């Protein structure tokens, strides 16, 4: 088994990775992953403190790695950002009070994607220079 790296303090990237993970039925079928992911989601929704979230994210990262996902939770391949997007493109962003950096391309005629962390649809907007 690969040693799990220390995750940074709970930040927006981990919340974005959690959101992408919760939207992936294949990943949630792995043993122990669904329970750990749902616990992290519940803590994030309830506004838990940073230490408690960090502990939960580490447990989820460990569950993913033990289930055979070498990426763990907080990796670039989980889709925390959308490289190559230019500022005039419409995007869907996190709608919650605990905002993550997940960005999805928003299609005009389709509803915004679902945010699994906050349990609502993402909000549509234009990509800003800070994103």
Those residues whose C-beta lies under 8 Å from the C-beta of residue 6, and which sit 6 or more positions away, are 58
Burial class of residue 20, CB neighbours in 10 A (0-12, 13-18, 19+): buried
Residue ranges making up the domain that contains 64: 12-75
- How confident is residue 75, by pLDDT bands cut at 50, 70 and 90? low
Name residues whose C-beta falls within 8 Å of residue 32's C-beta, 6 or more positions apart in sequence: 63, 66, 67
- Look at residue 126 and tell me if it is in a domain: no
Contact of 129 with 30, CB cutoff 8 Å:
no
**Residues 35, 102: contact at Cβ < 8 Å?**
no
Q: If you average pLDDT over every residue of the chain, what do you get?
A: 78
Rounded Cα distance, 131 and 125, in Å: 11
Instruction: Note whether residue 88 is domain-resident.
Output: no
Q: Locate tokens 């230019």: which residue?
A: 86
Q: Is residue 37 part of a domain?
A: yes
Q: Is the pLDDT of residue 10 over 70?
A: no
The reply to whether 118 falls in a domain is no
User: Considering the domain boundaries, does residue 71 fall inside one?
Assistant: yes
pLDDT at 9 over 50: no
CA distance 56 to 44: 10
Instruction: Answer whether residue 120 is part of any domain.
Output: no
What is the number of domains present in the chain?
A: 1
Does residue 70 fall inside a structural domain?
A: yes
116 falls within a domain: no
pLDDT over 50 (residue 86):
no
- In this model, does residue 42 exceed pLDDT 80? yes
In this prediction the pTM is 0.58
């Amino acid at each position: 088994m690969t040693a799990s790296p220390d995750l940074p303090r709970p930040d927006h990237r981990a919340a974005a990775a959690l959101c992408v993970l919760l939207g992936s039925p294949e990943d949630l079928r792995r043993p122990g992953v669904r329970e750990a992911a749902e616990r992290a989601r519940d803590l994030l929704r309830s506004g838990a403190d940073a230490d408690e979230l960090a502990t939960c994210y580490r447990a989820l990262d460990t569950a993913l790695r033990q289930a055979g996902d070498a990426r763990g939770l907080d990796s670039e391949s989980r889709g925390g950002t959308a490289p190559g997007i230019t500022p005039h493109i419409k995007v869907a962003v996190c709608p919650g009070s605990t905002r993550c950096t997940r960005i999805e391309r928003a299609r005009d005629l389709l509803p915004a994607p679902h945010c699994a962390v906050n349990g609502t649809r993402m909000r549509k907007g234009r990509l800003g220079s800070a994103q």
